[in-house]
């Protein structure tokens, strides 16, 4: 098979066989993160702090130093790392379970601290690695292994809108939700992810991008159907948008 590394630069390691399931949205997001790091020329000083779950695999496809943190704590790991080594670029990468179930407290306080850190939250509305259980972002009525009659909002609440929770935090300088449901959406996601890294390179403050992706395995759907769901039900509720972009200021770093 043709080796694509030369086309994508040094950051992405395409020699490694992917562990992502066929059709998984993580592959797209991982590539976009790798491209952003490559384009900004910060690969040698970038550290990935990844969560537990499928997002934890992401660093294997990038030739950068990485820390596999404890479940949900990657934002706090990143805070400690950035304090001790502010010259490095630190980003966290995890799914919706890690980021907004067990790790919501760590996430919100890291965001509110406003340190220059970048967080990528990959939202597929389900715990993928453990086999398709309900997550905080599971849609109303969505059937999962642990919401067998569909998510009941009377006891499980509504799907969590994470970037909306950060909107009022002044330390958050770039805030967006994107999707990978179409080539056009992916181009927009690429731009947002790059800005979220740029925000840190400039030393401006915290940056957060949620990316809506399909999980055909966890949702027990055909790949094509999972992308249609992504383009319709998922993005109807999780509306892609740039909430805040304060990156067009001068460098602080």
Partner 1 sequence: MTQETLFLKNTETFAESLARCGVKYHFAYPITPATDVMKRMAVILPQYGGQMMQMESELAVSSALAGAACTGKLAATSSSGPGLTLMHEAIGFMCAAELPCIVFDSMRVGPGDGDILGAQSDYYVVTRGGGHGDYHTIVLAPSSGQEIADIMPHGVRLAYKYRAPVLFVLDGVSAQTTESTTLPAYNDYSAEFDTSEWAFTGTKDHAKRALITGSYTHQDGYEMNEMLRAKYEVIRNNEQMWEQEQVEDAELVVAAFGIHGRMCRDMVAKMRAEGRKVGFIRPITLWPFPDNAFEALPESVKNILVVEMNHGQMVDDVRLAVNGRVPVHFMGKTGGDQPMHTLAEMITEANRILGE
Burial class, 222, CB count within 10 angstroms (exposed 0-12 / middle 13-18 / buried 19+): exposed
Of 83 and 153, nearer to partner 1 (C-beta) is 83
DSSP label at residue 6: H
From residue 42, give the alpha-carbon distance in Å to each of 33, 111, 131, 194, 197: 12, 22, 35, 12, 10
Q: How many CA atoms lie within 13 A of 205 on its CB side?
A: 19
Of residues 16 through 45, those in contact with partner 1 by CB under 8 A are 43-45
95 touching partner 1, by CB under 8 A: no
Torsions phi, psi for 70 (to 5 deg): -70, 165
CB of 62 to partner 1, least distance (A): 8
Tell me the window of 24-32, 66-74, 157-165, 230-238 that interacts with partner 1 (CB under 8 A): 66-74
Tell me the window of 70-78, 164-172, 173-181, 197-205 that interacts with partner 1 (CB under 8 A): 70-78
Alpha helix (H) residue ranges in the chain? 5-8, 26-40, 74-84, 96-97, 104-113, 153-156, 162-166, 183-201, 216-219, 223-229, 235-237
Beta strands in 111-171 (DSSP E): 118-123
x/- map, 99-118, partner 1, by CB under 8 A: ------xx--x---------
73 touching partner 1, by CB under 8 A: yes
253 touching partner 1, by CB under 8 A: no
* Strands 65-68 and 46-50, bridge-based pairing: parallel
76 touching partner 1, by CB under 8 A: yes
162 touching partner 1, by CB under 8 A: no
CB of 15 to partner 1, least distance (A): 12
46 touching partner 1, by CB under 8 A: yes
Of 59 and 177, nearer to partner 1 (C-beta) is 59
Q: Which residues bind partner 1 (CB under 8 A)?
A: 43-47, 49, 52, 56, 59-60, 63-70, 73, 76-85, 88, 105-106, 109
């Amino acid at each position: 098979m043709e080796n694509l590394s030369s086309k994508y630069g040094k950051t992405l390691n395409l020699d490694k066989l992917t562990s992502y399931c066929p059709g998984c949205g993580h592959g797209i997001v991982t590539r976009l993160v790798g491209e952003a790091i490559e384009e900004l020329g910060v690969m040698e000083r970038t550290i990935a702090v990844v969560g537990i779950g499928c997002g934890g695999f992401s660093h294997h496809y990038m030739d950068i130093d990485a820390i596999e943190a404890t479940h949900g704590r990657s934002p706090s790991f990143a805070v400690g790392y950035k304090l001790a080594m502010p010259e490095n670029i630190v980003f966290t990468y995890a799914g919706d379970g890690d980021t907004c179930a067990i790790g919501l407290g760590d996430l919100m306080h890291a965001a509110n601290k406003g340190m220059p850190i970048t967080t990528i939250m990959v939202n597929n509305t389900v715990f993928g690695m453990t086999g398709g259980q309900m997550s905080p972002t599971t849609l109303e009525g969505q059937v999962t292994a642990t919401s067998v009659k569909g998510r009941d909002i009377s006891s499980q609440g509504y799907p969590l809108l994470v970037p909306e929770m950060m909107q009022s935090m002044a330390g958050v300088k770039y805030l967006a939700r994107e999707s990978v449901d179409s080539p056009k959406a992916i181009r927009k996601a690429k731009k947002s992810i790059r800005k979220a890294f740029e925000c840190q390179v400039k030393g401006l403050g915290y940056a957060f991008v949620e990316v809506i992706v399909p999980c055909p395995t966890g949702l027990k759907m055909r790949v094509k159907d999972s992308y249609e769901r992504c383009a319709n039900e998922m993005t109807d509720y999780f509306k892609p948008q740039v909430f805040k972009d304060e990156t067009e200021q001068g460098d602080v770093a």
